[in-house]
């Protein structure tokens, strides 16, 4: 897996901007939309923990706010030695806008990691196609 230099630079910048004063676990995410444009996000913790937001959510929200609706590739980087994967909620959010075969690159702070697919992260996902069967 080779992360494009522009994506790696964006991930590293976002990682530095993480607001994670409680856990100290910084996360950055970048999604590539169908148009090719990149959208990024970082995690934002809150003293009231349920109000915290994940980096993947921020990236997808930025994409949707820009008027795009399809993810073609995802990168997640954590400030740790072990690569991080999206949490359960983020897996569901990614599945809303990505195909099961969409690659998700899970990276550590040095840009090393593994590549999975949205379908591999969330097999048998409930999504838009389930609702369109009416």
Residue 81, both tokens: 């030695």
Would you say 77 is a known binding-site residue? no
Would you say 48 is a known binding-site residue? yes
Would you say 33 is a known binding-site residue? no
| Cβ burial 32-68 (10 Å sphere, 16+ → b, else e) | bbeeeebbbbbbbbeeeeeebbbbbbbbbebbeeeeb
Instruction: Say which of 16, 56, 68, 73 is annotated catalytic.
Output: 56
Would you say 106 is a known binding-site residue? no
Active-site residue, 101 included: no
Would you say 108 is a known binding-site residue? no
DSSP state at residue 111: S
Would you say 54 is a known binding-site residue? yes
The position carrying tokens 């030695």 is 81
Residue 76, both tokens: 């997640």
Residue 95, both tokens: 């599945």
Would you say 59 is a known binding-site residue? no
Catalytic residues, by residue number, are 56
Annotated binding site for Zn(2+): 54, 87, 90
Annotated binding site: 43-49, 54, 87, 90
Annotated binding site for substrate: 43-49
């Amino acid at each position: 897996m080779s992360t494009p230099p522009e994506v790696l630079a964006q991930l590293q910048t976002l990682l530095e901007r993480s607001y994670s004063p409680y856990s100290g676990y910084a996360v950055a995410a970048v999604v590539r939309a169908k148009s090719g444009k990149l959208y990024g996000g970082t995690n934002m913790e809150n003293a009231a923990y349920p109000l915290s937001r994940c980096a993947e959510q921020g990236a997808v929200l930025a994409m949707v706010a820009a008027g795009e609706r399809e993810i073609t590739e995802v990168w997640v980087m954590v400030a740790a030695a072990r690569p991080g994967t999206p949490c359960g909620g983020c897996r569901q959010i990614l599945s809303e806008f990505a195909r099961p075969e969409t690659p998700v690159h899970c990276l550590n702070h040095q840009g090393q990691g593994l590549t999975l697919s949205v379908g591999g992260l969330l097999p048998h996902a409930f999504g838009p196609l389930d609702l369109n069967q009416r």
